[in-house]
Amino acid sequence: CNGTVNHCIIYATERGFGFAEPYNIHESLTHLVLHYAQNSLEEHNESLSTTLAYPAFASTGLLTQLQAQQRVIQSQNHYQMPMI
């Protein structure tokens, strides 16, 4: 976002975590961050043309785990791409 820091409110509901209904579908904050590491926040706010990198104040162990999970997701997405 042009080098600026933006903050988003994340809601925790009975359905899960998210930015707004009906998108509170993530079972944990980790899953929310992983999803929005691959998908732009623009779907919720057109001025946020960016993805998430990692949770603020995350421990080194959690960051390592998130990076490994992101690599798995990226490889799965690569193999699921339709052949034309």
**How confident is the model over 15-25, as a mean pLDDT?**
89
- Report yes or no on 75 lying in a domain: yes
Q: Mean pLDDT lowest for which of 9-13, 26-30, 43-47?
A: 43-47
Q: Flag whether 1 is in a domain.
A: no
What domain count does the chain have? 1
In a domain, 64, yes or no: yes
For the entire predicted model, the pTM comes to 0.63
Domain that holds residue 27: 11-79
CATH of the domain at 27: 3.30.505.10
Position 29 in a domain: yes
Within-domain flag for 4: no
In the structure, what pLDDT confidence band is assigned to residue 82 with cuts at 50, 70 and 90? low
Query: For position 13, what pLDDT does the model report?
Result: 92
Beta strands per DSSP E along 1-84: 11-12, 17-18
